[in-house]
Amino acid sequence: MRRIALFGLAYLLVAAFTVPAAADELSDFESARRAYDRQSYAKAARELESLVGGVVPRARNPVVRLEARKYLGATYLFLGDEVAAREQFRLLLEEDDEYDIDPVAFPEAVVQTFQQVKSQVETERAREKALEATRQAQERTDEVEQLIMQQQRIAALEELAGSETVERVNSRWIAALPFGVGQFQNQNRRLGIMFAVMESAFLAASIATFVGHNSLRNENPNPDEVGRAERVERALRIGNWVSVGGLVSFYVAGVIEAEVRFKPVIRSTRKRDLPDDLPMTDDERTEIRFELGLTGGKLKLDF
């Protein structure tokens, strides 16, 4: 009961001070307007300034405040202060951008000045809206660019993590081996195959001619076959020399080529599998937020 009594007392006190305040505003405005109608512009200006002058207007009632600014602007024009008049009209339009002056109730000069200020205010507001729209569009563009850059960075990281570079150190001793080993070490597969085939062929021919030539030692040809045996022996001996010479030539050529084009280190890239359950960072998570305030709500999607 005591709390209810206190609330009731507070309400009565607020009502007691509020009603007279509104009545004072209206009576002061009526007094200022009568002074305006009597063309007592200096008095009208003082009384109207007491209502809407200063940073915080005394007039709390929005209707009284708008009407006071209108009459104060007109009064300033009659007093020759056009700058102050335009300022009052601007403040009026900032509070109510659809407000208009009755051309019948006010002189043409007042109406024209008010319309000029209203046109300026509308132009400024249109420019501000355009700038705000441009700013919002730029923000959206920046967000899209950041998202694209983030996706590119993630793709680059995935590519970097999904591959590894393997280095193989070559040896000059291996480059000196026959049968194209040096070429294969330098990753020159065609030359390696060519040297391997040619050296193998000359090696096989030299072995075959050597074995054939040695087999003639155990033969005792008849006198009439001595000539043929000598020709066979000479052919096998020459063939062996040629095959050994070809083998040595290709071996030396292969070693020289492998040493001249020797690659100390060979780097290669190979792929490696990434786990499918990699945790996402805070920047990579997609978040949907719904914000609700006094002026409305909005849905926002964050990446």
Whichever domain contains 82, its CATH number is 1.25.40
Same domain assignment for residues 87 and 182: no
Residue 145 resides in a domain: no
Residue 144 resides in a domain: no
Residue 147 resides in a domain: no
**Residues of the chain falling short of pLDDT 70:** 1-23, 162, 216, 226, 272-303
Same domain assignment for residues 122 and 183: no
Same domain assignment for residues 119 and 45: yes
Same domain assignment for residues 264 and 207: yes
The neighbouring-strand residues paired with 135 are: none
CB 281 within 8 A of CB 264: no
Same domain assignment for residues 121 and 181: no
User: For residue 214, what pLDDT is reported?
Assistant: 76
Same domain assignment for residues 44 and 97: yes
Same domain assignment for residues 122 and 220: no
Same domain assignment for residues 117 and 21: yes
CB 252 within 8 A of CB 175: no
**Domain end among 102, 127, 152:** 127
Same domain assignment for residues 98 and 177: no
Residue 253 resides in a domain: yes
User: For residue 23, what pLDDT is reported?
Assistant: 67
Q: In angstroms, rounded to a whole number, what is the distance separating the alpha carbons of residues 202 and 241?
A: 10
- Residues of the domain holding 28: 13-127
- How does pLDDT run across 80-93, given as a tens digit for each residue? 999 999 999 999 99
Residue whose structure tokens are 């070693």:
255
Residue 287 resides in a domain: no
User: For residue 266, what pLDDT is reported?
Assistant: 80
Residue 302 resides in a domain: no
Same domain assignment for residues 20 and 123: yes
User: For residue 1, what pLDDT is reported?
Assistant: 40
Q: Which of 60, 76, 66 is nearest to 25 (CA)?
A: 60
Same domain assignment for residues 185 and 110: no
Same domain assignment for residues 104 and 17: yes
Residue 288 resides in a domain: no
The count of domains in the chain is 2
Residue 152 resides in a domain: no
